[in-house]
Structure 1
């Protein structure tokens, strides 16, 4: 038992010392920790991959559990009638509130009638689809790929909302639809959209919980551009990847500090800490790659532009993917 506890506490103390040294190196010596790591001085520092994953999980847990995103579910739309009520689309004879002046202002909104006509046309379209599901679905099979996918999602969404279809198997049997990967994907997308419509808060919460793992798919792609920009340097792709992991770790450290300050003192310090990170990143690139100020500025601007483009592209794919799997 003595040997067991000695080993346990020595490992714990060793990890704490690694953590403190990693934090101090990241905060005080931009670019130094990556240079030490790729030069073989790894015993004193925590693993960059696990360290980043831990920080990402901690940050997004803080955001998720303190954001009260479940409150957004109260604004979820359960039926088409709820949708009309949510947009204040009731007929003029129906009073939304007991305030006549407020109701008059609502009635005077110019786009109210446009929404009402839009929903009326949508209802007519749904009624046509509901009248003969099999025939309407067969017509969709004749369309081009992109148009067919969009219309199939709309088709399945209509029946999920109005005909109590819970899975694709119900639709296959009830409407004599062929089983295929395309039909499975479009049904999943329609089901995800309905769930998003009914519980937007739960969708956002699920989205945030998966973000730490998205980082590990995004950064390796971004590291390719770092490697190409500094291709004349002696560093390998893996070295550049470790550099991006270390800098992203610092970003999450600053975000966590900012979040705690905002939570305790009820202020908004995100902008300040993002500016600190911007300066830090420039210094880290300058010291790690050892190039002059002008070259570093050009590559700094270029890589940050690429980072922004990749982030937007990844966000769109990630959001769409979650619709299919929600």
Structure 2
């Protein structure tokens, strides 16, 4: 709590409401002197940091090992002792994708390594006898194998659209999709397509999760008593559950990049991965059972049904998103 002197002026600086005591009854702002010494600034920073740290570790502990506890505490009104659900999700999401961006995936590393090897081999092959062959080989390595994608040129497609039979012609939407696909494959190698796709996918995962969460909460709303549970309640449960999934993913990612990179103890990372994935898959059931208070059998049945419904919906969304990323590569 701040120890700054209380202002003599009883008018709140934030909302202009009359403040009889230390805190404004209208907006909650502390009616203290806004000009602070370095001492007050340091003390205020230390108090906020200590409170945040205590709340943070308490929140993480409950999130990992006590399914639904955070949701029940939050909805019961005990909110100052924990991080707010939205802030928690944003914080974990930020840290997770920051670390992912800092450490390239094995696919990207291999692609980069292959490109460097091709370039190095091409530069070394400078003899007259092999120069022409290596030049042709290098150009082939940088060109898309059209047979792999099985795409006709736009000239062929335009010819079919103009002179072909009605059954052979594309609709306007199909033609647009095909034109985009041909443009991507003509201007990018296979390696470039994969690398750009991975990079775009990683950077946009938060957007995908934000899109999925309202639907996840909606499915929970459908399967539970509408009078007892509001959509808001399901939303808080969803935020905590997705925060847990992201946190487990973050922990496993760190384990793989640290312990997994050391050969003699790499098996430890495999064990942690196995335990983490099992806990990730199982977590929803006890969280659902404890939060909604239904019998174990009913909760198990609903958990299984919700798992398959959400898995199908997520898969469908990812398919559309993959197509979107592919068609928007440059």
- Return the TM-score normalized by structure 1: 0.66
Deviation at 1:143, TM superposition (A): 8.6
Instruction: Indicate how the Cα distance of structure 1 residues 147 and 49 shifts in structure 2: closer, same or farther if over 3 A, else same.
Output: same
Mapped partners of 1:239, 1:146: distance in 2: 47
1:33 correspondence with 2:57? no
The 3 A distance-change label for structure 1 pair 195 and 32 is same
Higher normalized helix content (fraction of residues): 1
Count of matched residue positions in the alignment of Structure 1 and Structure 2: 251
Q: Which residue of 1 aligns with 2:96?
A: 59
Q: Distance in 1 between matches of 2:169 and 2:153?
A: 22
Higher mean alpha-carbon deviation, 280-289 vs 23-32, is at: 23-32
Q: Highest CA radius of gyration, 1 or 2?
A: 2
Match of 1:72 among 95, 99, 111: 111
Q: How far does residue 57 in structure 1 lie from its aligned partner after superposition? A: 3.1
Structure 2 counterparts to residues 32-111 of structure 1, below 5 A: 32-66=69-103, 67-68=105-106, 69=108, 71-72=110-111
Match of 2:238 among 244, 256, 259: 244
Measure the CA separation in 1 of the matches of 2:324 and 2:251. 31
| Residue 189 (structure 2) pairs with residue 204 (structure 1) | no
Change (3 A) 1:56 1:126: same
TM-score by length of 2: 0.65
Structure 2 SS opposite 1:296: helix
Corresponding residue number in structure 2 for 1:182:
none
Per-residue deviation at 1:290?
Answer: 0.5
Note closer, same or farther for the CA distance 1:231–1:325 as it changes in structure 2 (3 Å cut): farther
**Counterpart position of 2:153:** 126
- Which residue in 1 is equivalent to 2:321? 318
Structure 1 gaps, min length 5? 77-93, 96-115, 159-189
Output the CA distance in 2 between the equivalents of 1:194 and 1:321. 17
Could you tell me which residue of structure 2 aligns to residue 14 of structure 1?
51
8 Å Cα contact 2:73-2:79 kept in structure 1: yes
CA gap 1:192/1:70 in 2 versus in 1, 3 angstroms: farther
SS at match of 2:275: helix
**Residues 251 and 198 of structure 1: is their aligned pair in 2 closer, same or farther, counting only changes over 3 Å?**
closer
In structure 2, the CA distance between the partners of 1:28 and 1:206, relative to structure 1 (3 Å rule), is: same
* Inter-CA distance 258–315: structure 2 relative to 1 (3 Å threshold): same
Q: Deviation digits for residues 115-137 of structure 1, max 9, x if unmatched?
A: x9x85xx79x638549xx7x777
CA gap of 1:196–1:218, structure 2 versus 1, over 3 A, is farther
Contact residue 180 and residue 327 of structure 2 kept, 8 A = no
Aligned partner of residue 50 in structure 2, secondary structure = helix
Partner of 2:274: 271
1:278-320 deviation per Cα after TM superposition (whole angstroms, max 9, x unaligned): 3332111111100111101100100111121111011112212
Partner residue, 1:255 = 249
Kindly indicate whether structure 1 or structure 2 has the higher relative contact order, using CA contacts under 8 Å at least 6 residues apart. Answer: 1
- Residue 153 and residue 296 in structure 1: after superposition, are their counterparts in 2 closer, same or farther (change >3 A)? closer
CA contact (8 A) 1:59 1:252 kept: yes
